Amino acid sequence: MTSVASSPNPSTDRPAAGPLPKAELHLHIEGTLEPGLAFALARRNGVELPYATEDELRRAYSFADLQSFLDLYYALMAVLRTEDDFADLAHAYLARAKEQGVRHAEIFFDPQAHTARGVAIGTVIDGLARALDAAEETYGISTRLIMCFLRDESAESALATFEAARPYLHRITAVGLDSAEVGHPPVKFREVFALAKEAGLKCVAHAGEEGPPAYVWEALDVLGVDRIDHGVRSMEDERLVARLVADQVPLTVCPLSYLRLRVVDDLADHPLPAMLDAGLLVTVNSDDPAYFGGYADDNFTAVRDALGLDGATLRRLARNSFRASFLDEPTRERYLKEIDAHEAAAGQDGAHGA
Ligand code: ADE
Ligand code: ZN
C-alpha cells in the first residue's frame, strides 16, 4: 500500500510529507456540525430547520461578533438528540481531523446546551465516548474530553451540571468555560472549578477572546487553569504576557475563528507573530471549524499564507500543541518524534502541507 508519506513530491523530488502531525486542543464538537450532517440528523429526528437547503444555511454563516455566531451554533444543536447523533458527529469530526494531520484531539462539549433541551447528559457523553473509544484504532487519533460550562448560565447551573456528570467523570479529563464572555468573569465559576480540581480534573477556560486581560488574570489566579483558550487580548497587558511566558501557560489560539468573528478584518493583522516573538506557548486550533471555514491544518495553512510563517515556525506551533496537551510523557515524546520525522521527510525548509 502506498502511504501519503512515500508518494513523490514533484517540486522537491523528496517524499511528500503530508500535513504536519499536530494536536487539536481547542475544538467544540458541536462546532463541527457541517450543514450536510445537520440536515441528515434533522430528517432522522423529524426536526424542522429554519433553512430550506444546505446552501441557504451556509449563507447564514456570516457573523458580526461572538454572540451572532453563538445564536446559530445553539439553534442548530436542535438536531442532536440521540446517542447515535453524538457518535455520528464525533466520527465525522475524527475522519476530517485525520486528513488534517491531527494525531491527538482534546475535545470540548457543552452539556448544558443539550440538557436544557431535554437531552440527558449520559446520552451526550455515552454517544461521544462511543466514537472516541474507536478513534485510536479507526483514525489513529488519541483523544480526551473536556466538559465546558456555559458562562452566560448561572454558577448554580454549572454546579448542577458537574454533579450530574459525576458518574461519567472517568471519561472526562478537564473542565472548561465557554460561551458569551463579556459580563461573565471567571470568578463566577470559582466553586465549580474547585470541585473539578478536587475530583482530579484539569482546568481550562476561554478568556481574553472578547473579554479583557483581567479575565485572563482571574482564570489563572482564581480558577487555577492549566491553559487559556484564545487569550489573544493578553497582548494588551505587558505584565500578563510576562506571567504567561514565565509559567509557559499554553494559549490555544484559533486564527480563522478570530477572522470570522471579525476581531480582525484581515488575517495578516493577527497578532500571532508578536505572540511567538514574546515567547508565549501558542498553539493553533480550529474552534468551530464547520462555521469558521477550516479544520486544524486549514488554520495552519491560513496563518502560513497570511503571515508568511516558515516551516520552522509551523513546526514550533505543532510541537507546542503536543507540549500543551494533557498527554502522558511517553505518548507526547512519540508524537514529537513524528514531527522530527516529518521535518526529515519534507527536507530543509519542511514545506508545510502536501
Ligand atoms: N462556544 C463555541 N465556540 C465558542 C467560542 N469561540 N467562544 C466562546 N464560546 C464558544
Ligand atoms: Zn472556543
Lowest-pLDDT choice from 35-39, 79-83, 211-215, 348-352:
348-352
310, 50 contact by CB (below 8 A)? no
pTM: 0.94
Question: What share of the chain in percent tops pLDDT 90?
Answer: 93
pLDDT tens per residue, range 58-89: 999 999 999 999 999 999 999 999 999 999 99
Q: Sorting pLDDT into bands at 50, 70 and 90, what band is 129?
A: very high
Q: For residue 5, tell me if it sits in a domain.
A: no
| Annotated binding-site members for Zn(2+) | 26, 28, 206, 287
Lowest-pLDDT choice from 76-85, 178-187, 338-347:
338-347
- Of 33, 146, 150, 206, which is best to mutate to test ligand 1, by the most ligand atoms within 8 angstroms of its C-beta? 206
pLDDT at 13: 40
Quote the radius of gyration of the chain (alpha carbons, Å).
20
Decide: residue 264, CB within 10 A, 0-12 exposed, 13-18 middle, 19+ buried. middle
Q: Please report which ligand is nearest the Cα atom of 30.
A: 1
How far is Cα 307 from Cα 305, in angstroms, rounded to an integer?
6
Residues in contact with 232: Cβ distance below 8 Å, sequence separation at least 6, in sequence order: 208, 209, 251, 253, 258, 263, 271, 275
Residue located nearest, by CA, to atom 1 of ligand 1: 179
Q: For residue 346, tell me if it sits in a domain.
A: no
Is residue 330 over pLDDT 60? yes
Is the C-beta atom of 165 inside 6 A of ligand 1?
no
Residue 261 CA, closest ligand 1 atom number? 6
Is residue 16 over pLDDT 90? no
* 147 DSSP 8-state letter: E
Q: For residue 259, tell me if it sits in a domain.
A: yes
Is residue 299 over pLDDT 70? yes
Is the C-beta atom of 31 inside 6 A of ligand 1?
yes
- Cα 262 to the center of its chain, rounded Å: 18
Is residue 2 over pLDDT 50? no
Tell me what percent of the chain is helix, strand and coil, each rounded to the nearest 5: 55, 15, 30
As given in the structure block, the three cell numbers for residue 202 are: 484539569
Q: For residue 210, tell me if it sits in a domain.
A: yes
- Of 29, 112, 179, which is best to mutate to test ligand 1, by the most ligand atoms within 8 angstroms of its C-beta? 179
Mean pLDDT score, 312-330 = 98
Q: How far is the CA of 5 from the centre of ligand 2 (A)?
A: 32
Q: For residue 336, tell me if it sits in a domain.
A: no
Tell which phi-psi region holds residue 13, choosing left (phi > 0), alpha (psi between -120 and 50) or beta.
left
Is the C-beta atom of 28 inside 6 A of ligand 1?
yes
Decide: residue 293, CB within 10 A, 0-12 exposed, 13-18 middle, 19+ buried. middle
Residue 28 CA, closest ligand 1 atom number? 2
Is residue 307 over pLDDT 60? yes
pLDDT at 10: 36
52, 92 contact by CB (below 8 A)? no
pLDDT at 347: 78
* 75 DSSP 8-state letter: H
Report the domain count for the chain: 1
Q: For residue 339, tell me if it sits in a domain.
A: no
Q: For residue 341, tell me if it sits in a domain.
A: no
Containing structural domain, residue 168 = 20-324
Which CA distances in Å does 217 have to 188, 224, 233, 240, 302?
14, 10, 11, 7, 29
Is residue 348 over pLDDT 90? no
How far is Cα 114 from Cα 134, in angstroms, rounded to an integer?
23
Q: For residue 6, tell me if it sits in a domain.
A: no
pLDDT at 9: 38
Sheet holding 174-178, edge to edge: 22-28, 102-109, 142-150, 174-178, 202-207, 227-230, 250-253, 281-284
Mean pLDDT score, 191-207 = 98
pLDDT at 354: 33
Q: How far is the CA of 346 from the centre of ligand 2 (A)?
A: 31
- Of 73, 151, 257, 287, which is best to mutate to test ligand 1, by the most ligand atoms within 8 angstroms of its C-beta? 287
Q: How far is the CA of 237 from the centre of ligand 1 (A)?
A: 23
Is the C-beta atom of 26 inside 6 A of ligand 1?
no
Q: How far is the CA of 162 from the centre of ligand 2 (A)?
A: 20
Residue whose entry in the numeric block shows the C-alpha cell 481547542? 26
What CATH number is attached to the domain comprising 164? Answer: 3.20.20.140
As given in the structure block, the three cell numbers for residue 18 are: 503530508
Residue 209 CA, closest ligand 1 atom number? 7
